[in-house]
Structure 1
Amino acid sequence: MGKSSSLLFLFLYSLLPCLSPFHIELVDAFGTPDGSEEWGYVQVRPKAHVFWWLYRSPQRGDRASKPWPTVLWLQGGPGASGVGIGNFQEIGPLDTDLKPRNSTWLQKADLLFVDNPVGTGYSFVEDKQALVKTDWEAATDLTTLLKKLYNKNGRLQRSPLYIVAESYGGKFAATLGISVAKAIKAGELKLTFGGVALGDSWISPEDFVFSWGPLLLDVSRLDFIGANKSNSLAEKIRQQLATGQYGEATETWSDLERVIISSSNGVDFYNFLLDSKDDPLSTMAVASSNNLVTSKKLAMKKSYSMYLGSKASSSGSLDDLMNGIIKKKLKIIPKDVSWGGQAGDVFEFLVNDFMKPRINEVDELLSLGVNVTIYNGQVDLICATKGTEAWVRKLKWEGMKDFNNLERKPLYCNDDGATRGFVKSYKNLHFYWILGAGHFVPVDQPCIALKMLSYITQSPAAFSP
């Protein structure tokens, strides 16, 4: 039986009722008969339920000299589903047609997808007031989930955990990283912490909005008139942030996106070399996220909060897949819970935290000795490399001077001699520039993304208090 046939057989076989003997150890989790997949719910607070899905890699035995790592993938938005988007559209074992993905990150690590925060994907709240209002509240929920998964499971404890985030997920990763490190130090969490990776992450909204006008002017996507309009609104955002008007800054951010779209004739915020209509990832996200528009106020926010959320496959949309055959496979999703049904509410409740920076949290992670990796796609706009470099320069970590003085090293793939990216590392800070990639690095440049993951998970020192 070929690889494709074997995976399809296992997937269909997993539709049969099953509960492995050791699943009780993982909070009454369900899974496949062979133990390669496990999933379940954790009630993190009254009326707040987080869904998780863990894949064990078939390559686990290939790296016997070091513990096999686990990647916790955090999606952005806020309100975008890691269980759906990160899993089936970016790094999981199967794509949206349920065919094997050649570039799955299971080649390098076990994968833990979590629908974070509550209300995202299959995660749900029984009362809207149980939704989180800050990144720190989301971190507390995730830490609660990790305690319940890890504290009584020796196998998981032996696998170093790497938190890898994309987009707004980077803000969650920064707060979660601190929460995890402190919980380990306090003896409340039994976990080997490998580090945090921030991929095209919304760490400093101010630096990103100030990058948009100059960047698009340099690549001829805006003229001076459009760039001046962009810079003017960015300055308004700076003033609003300085005076603590975070909700108002989110509204101005929406205005700024509208101005850029109009002045650029529809530039794609996830790849500035494209029109949004020419990018299938962006187009499908915008076209099919109308269910998120709970008011006119949220109209411009919907495309970012559900980016990539409903990319079409030959068999239909991601919404159809997740609310159809996948929900049937998982068995435990409540009948009245639809995948992504509360995503708009997730964004709305976080509207006053959306524009808050998390630079200080990254500084704290570095000072705690946690491995911090930053990676960025060359042609991303929403979290442009220009903006990422700007907030990295604001870090006050004691190693920054030495980091800044280092030369970058080139990265290659497939021995073809073509430069695929650059990397700079000093102590526990690592920065990857990924050429030819937009916002979704694993999708745009799967080869170098896998190579980068290998470097990240083989870093010499995991966090220890």
Structure 2
Amino acid sequence: MGKSSSLLPLFLCSLLLCLSIFHIKPVNALGTADGSEEWGYVRVRPKAYMFWWLYRSPQRVENASTPWPTVLWLQGGPGGSGVGIGNFQEIGPLDTDLKPRNSTWLQKADLLFVDNPVGTGYSFVEDTTALVTTDWEAATDLTTFLKKLYNTNERLQRSPLYVVAESYGGKYAVTLGISIAKAIKAGELKLTFGGVALGDSWISPEDYAFSWGPLLLDVSRLDFLGAENSNSLAEQIRQQLAAGQYQDATDTLSALEGVITSSSAGVDFYNFMLDADEDPIAASTNLGISEKLTMKKSYSMYLSSKASSTGSLADLMNGIIKKKLKIIPKSVSWGGQSNDVFDALVHDFVKPRISEVDELLSLGVNVTIYNGQVDLICATKGTEAWVRKLKWEGMKEFNKLERKPLHCNNDGVTRGFVKSYKNLHFYWILGAGHFVPVEQPCIALNMLGDITQSPAASSS
């Protein structure tokens, strides 16, 4: 009896320590004194915590007829951190050297970054059974997050929300878009929904696989033999997807990447005008999107090679940024569960989301598609292929329209093209690879202004 009593305080101490590691309130937030930034955690399910970071624009224009918009940025991967990659390497106010970014999207909108799915970036799960295994599960978590953030916040409710996604994030965006529309209709979500934008998005892996061989043949990165081998593996992927053999299709996709890499002498999957070894990542990173290193790691490093002169993004996020935020549990390392996130989604990785785009269009949701001209992984050729499969009633008229050229700063240089019909909009961005905001910042900003109907001034 005495021995048990003496152990009780020790047991309670251990229990309290354990609870303190993971104790996050259902909605827990901090922010800057001037209100320009807020961040925090939302418990979206038991054992699952989603981190978010909201920036309010210092260039906000008050216009009663055109409200200032908010952009929810969804990163790809799966397992890529919007709070890290999207924020510090693409569109946020500071770059990875913590210097002001001249092309920040805050010029057109408030920015809401979220580490999605749980397990990505600063978001975490208490054990791997709480990771999502489908894009729809990720959409459910994101909808729960939005309900908890928006339903009691009238200021947010007045700002229309636009979901903008990159790469695999496009699959989250279309499932989330449907979930948002249904939740609003059911009276469960108090939010003004502006639409979704799919940037170089992995909507149809099959169509992208079939695009690689012909595209690289046309630009002389593959010969006929290499293109034939590529097309043969793409056909194998098509058959595996039709049979529901998703793990096999993912493995074949990895093999296809290997064939393209060897036959092209190392073409860069994010810009087919480059060799992979023209980037610092080439010697140290496998670009295979189905490997454990995955697209999200290689593309974080790709962007780091362009944007940072000192240190890595992980060092920044686990150092000075974590210290600033004050809310990240000590046990949580930024990106520490990202590989687990990819592994949990491995079966959904190759599933198409074309029908979800169709559903959004039928619901009347604004859908914008934009693609970089020299992207390979989500090539424009593949994007055009899956867009042609859309069954939306407006497609016939959309296809009849001619594109309009896009310019920046009245320089007369054609920077891209756009075609719009009703609630479908397609932007072709010249000179950009996979990362449009980084590689063509001026046209990306103008495009964002058009998508969100931002009252901010245009640079066209």
Separation in 2 of the partners of 1:288 and 1:340? 17
More deviation, 445-454/303-312: 303-312
Q: Which amino acid aligns with 1:166?
A: E
Gaps of 5+ in 2: 1-24, 456-460
Contact persistence 1:254–1:301 (CA under 8 A): no
Q: Which amino acid aligns with 2:398?
A: F
More deviation, 330-339/26-35: 26-35
Cα 1:62–1:276 change in 2 (3 A) is: farther
Q: Deviations for 1:289-313, whole angstroms, at most 9, x for unmatched residues? A: 99xxxxxx98735241323324252
Separation in 1 of the partners of 2:399 and 2:28? 48
Of residues 284, 287, 291, the one that matches 1:287 is 284
> Cα offset for 1:328?
0.4
| Number of the residue aligned with 1:18 | none
Cα 1:454–1:299 change in 2 (3 A) is: closer
Separation in 2 of the partners of 1:33 and 1:308? 34
Separation in 2 of the partners of 1:110 and 1:421? 25
> Cα offset for 1:66?
1.2
| Number of the residue aligned with 2:295 | 304
Separation in 2 of the partners of 1:459 and 1:104? 14
| Number of the residue aligned with 2:428 | 433
Contact persistence 2:174–2:360 (CA under 8 A): yes
> Cα offset for 1:26?
10
User: Structure 1-normalised TM-score?
Assistant: 0.89
Where in structure 2 are the equivalents of 1:34-433 lying within 5 Å? 34-61=34-61, 63=63, 65-280=65-280, 283=281, 287=284, 300-310=291-301, 311-312=304-305, 313-433=308-428
Cα 1:381–1:226 change in 2 (3 A) is: same
> Cα offset for 1:63?
4.6
Cα 1:33–1:288 change in 2 (3 A) is: farther
Cα 1:288–1:272 change in 2 (3 A) is: closer
> Cα offset for 1:428?
0.2
Q: Deviations for 1:339-367, whole angstroms, at most 9, x for unmatched residues? A: 11111010001000000000000000000
Contact persistence 2:285–2:293 (CA under 8 A): no
SS of corresponding position for 1:424: strand
Cα 1:288–1:220 change in 2 (3 A) is: closer
Q: Deviations for 1:198-232, whole angstroms, at most 9, x for unmatched residues? A: 00000000000000000000000000111111001
Q: Deviations for 1:58-88, whole angstroms, at most 9, x for unmatched residues? A: 0112655411000000000000000000000
Q: Which amino acid aligns with 1:383?
A: C
Contact persistence 1:26–1:153 (CA under 8 A): no
Cα 1:44–1:345 change in 2 (3 A) is: same
Instruction: Please tell me whether Structure 1 or Structure 2 has the larger radius of gyration of its CA atoms.
Output: 2
| Number of the residue aligned with 2:13 | none
User: Structure 2-normalised TM-score?
Assistant: 0.90
Please report the RMSD computed on the Cα atoms of aligned residues, expressed in angstroms.
1.8
More deviation, 59-68/350-359: 59-68
> Cα offset for 1:336?
1.1
Gaps of 5+ in 1: 1-24, 291-296, 461-465
Q: Which amino acid aligns with 2:259?
A: V
Separation in 1 of the partners of 2:294 and 2:118? 19
Separation in 2 of the partners of 1:80 and 1:109? 22
SS of corresponding position for 1:28: strand
> Cα offset for 1:329?
0.4
Q: Which amino acid aligns with 1:306?
A: K
Cα 1:26–1:90 change in 2 (3 A) is: farther
Q: Which amino acid aligns with 1:181?
A: A
Contact persistence 1:26–1:149 (CA under 8 A): no
Cα 1:189–1:328 change in 2 (3 A) is: same
Q: Deviations for 1:379-417, whole angstroms, at most 9, x for unmatched residues? A: 000000000000000000000000000000000001110
Contact persistence 1:158–1:192 (CA under 8 A): yes
SS of corresponding position for 1:60: coil
More deviation, 164-173/28-37: 28-37
| Number of the residue aligned with 1:442 | 437
| Number of the residue aligned with 1:11 | none
Separation in 2 of the partners of 1:416 and 1:184? 43
More deviation, 311-320/138-147: 311-320
Q: Which amino acid aligns with 2:82?
A: G
Separation in 2 of the partners of 1:201 and 1:308? 14
Cα 1:55–1:357 change in 2 (3 A) is: same
